């Protein structure tokens, strides 16, 4: 574990090329991107000035089998061929560190972020080494999570708090949702009001399929109301039962996770993170198992797109 880890930055000057998508594609054609990404964990392609109309061609190389964001829990808009806004969470808030879809049976192995519009101020994407994050968590809290986490979603039928099941699964067909969840090792129930309740038990850590490194791989702090802050958690508790919230997290046996546990996990993840600032045309590629990511607050414009590929499961 390297406590001074940071993403590898590659620029046209360092590679001895010119700027532009063509130069980047020429470099990638001869590079062992998979090997490099496993070794470096995250790579920033800085200063190539890739244009939005060139993005598809670059992503075809960076992400050979682009995935749809099916069963994703973050608010996003689809803007291209399995390309999405990175999030539509309000800009004044920090998004805590997480590995994309670590609550699911199958998760992306690789993510690529593209800056279309430079942030006015702030708006960096923090990234954290998953081994360091795991080592930074209090041993007693790690042990409490050792049995796994139960993630519970309540997805409305078009009107309600949070996301609908139609948005989440990108379909209007219940049978397609049933088929997806049957292969996802999930329990689910269609409710009389047309909403859908999904429950899944997942591990809190995983080992990387190539390096064998054990990493923190858990989104309990993002799903748990305690991760929203004490005031918000108290307000939600007054209007809804814990099991009826749009999303929540429990220990695998259904036991309540203390608020201070999720806040500890959030805080140490953010403290161990390294910020990646954005300029239009930059790309960041990460190994989604070895590295968690988040978002710093920002003012003014900011447009960062994301796409994902592959699954280790």
Q: Out of 3.30.70.360, 3.40.50.300, 3.60.130.10, 3.30.1540.10, which CATH number does the structure's domain 133-268 have? A: 3.60.130.10
Are 259 and 99 in contact by the 8 Å Cβ rule? The answer is no
Residue position matching structure tokens 């929540």: 248
Nearest alpha-carbon partner for 133 in 41, 200, 45? 41
Distance of CA 183 to the CA centre of its chain: 21
Q: In this model, does residue 280 exceed pLDDT 90?
A: yes
Q: Report whether 102 contacts 202 (CB < 8 A).
A: yes
Range 140-152 burial, b when 16+ CB lie within 10 A, else e: ebbeebeebbbbb
CATH number for the region 8-129+274-309 comes to: 3.60.130.10
Q: Say if residues 210 and 38 touch (Cβ distance below 8 Å).
A: yes
Q: pLDDT tens across 170-212, in order?
A: 899 999 999 999 999 999 999 999 999 999 999 999 999 999 9
Exposed (0-12), middle (13-18) or buried (19+): which is 190, by Cβ within 10 Å? middle
- Three-state secondary structure readout of 29-56: HCCCHHHHHHHHCEEEECCCCCCHHHHH
Give the pairing of strands 125-129 and 291-295.
antiparallel
| pLDDT value at 73 more than 70 | no
Q: How high is the pLDDT of residue 72? A: 63
Output phi, psi for 97, to 5 deg: -65, 145
Check residue 160 and give its pLDDT: 85
CATH 3.60.130.10 in the chain, residues?
8-129+274-309, 133-268
Based on C-alpha coordinates, what's the Rg of the chain? 19
Residue from 288, 274, 279 nearest 46 by CA: 279
Pairing relationship of beta strands 196-202 and 274-276 according to DSSP bridges: unpaired
What pLDDT shows up at residue 238? 65
Least confident of 44-58, 225-239, 265-279: 225-239
pLDDT per position as a tens digit, 228-266: 765 665 566 566 777 888 999 999 999 999 999 999 999
pLDDT score of 109 more than 80: yes
**Token pair 């590659």: residue:** 10
Between CA 295 and CA 313 the distance in angstroms is 27
Q: What is the mean pLDDT of the chain?
A: 91
Query: Looking at the predicted structure, is the pLDDT value of residue 1 above 70?
Result: no
pTM above 0.85, yes or no: yes
Which segment of 76-90, 164-178, 263-277 scores lowest on mean pLDDT?
Answer: 76-90
* DSSP code of residue 22: H
- Position 312 pLDDT exceeds 60: no
- Model confidence at 313: pLDDT above 50: no
């Amino acid at each position: 574990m390297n406590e001074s880890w940071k993403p590898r930055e590659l620029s046209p000057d360092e590679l001895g090329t010119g700027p532009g998508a063509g130069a980047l594609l020429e470099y990638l054609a001869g590079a062992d991107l998979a090997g490099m990404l496993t070794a470096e964990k995250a790579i920033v392609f800085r200063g190539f000035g890739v244009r939005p109309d060139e993005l598809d061609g670059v992503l075809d190389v960076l992400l050979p089998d682009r995935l749809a964001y099916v069963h994703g829990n973050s608010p996003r808009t689809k803007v291209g061929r399995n390309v999405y806004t990175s999030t539509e969470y309000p800009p004044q808030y920090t998004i805590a560190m997480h590995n994309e879809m670590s609550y699911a049976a199958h998760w992306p192995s690789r993510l690529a972020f593209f800056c279309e519009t430079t942030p006015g101020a702030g708006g960096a994407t923090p990234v954290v080494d998953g081994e360091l994050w795991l080592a930074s968590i209090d041993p007693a809290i790690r042990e409490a999570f050792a049995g796994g986490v139960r993630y519970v979603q309540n997805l409305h039928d078009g009107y309600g708090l949070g996301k609908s099941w139609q948005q989440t699964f990108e379909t209007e067909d219940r049978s397609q949702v049933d088929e997806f969840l049957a292969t996802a090792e999930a329990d689910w129930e269609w409710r009389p009001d047309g909403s859908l309740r999904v429950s899944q038990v997942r591990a809190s850590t995983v080992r990387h399929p190539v390096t064998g490194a054990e990493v923190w791989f858990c989104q309990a702090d993002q799903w748990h109301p305690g991760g929203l802050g004490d005031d918000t958690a108290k307000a939600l508790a007054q209007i809804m039962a814990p099991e009826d919230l749009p999303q929540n997290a429990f220990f695998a046996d259904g036991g309540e996770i203390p608020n201070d546990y999720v806040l500890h996990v959030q805080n140490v993840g953010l403290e161990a993170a390294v910020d990646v600032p954005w300029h239009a045309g930059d790309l960041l590629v990460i190994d989604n198992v070895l590295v968690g990511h988040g978002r710093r607050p920002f003012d003014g414009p900011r447009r960062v797109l994301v796409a994902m590929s592959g699954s280790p499961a």
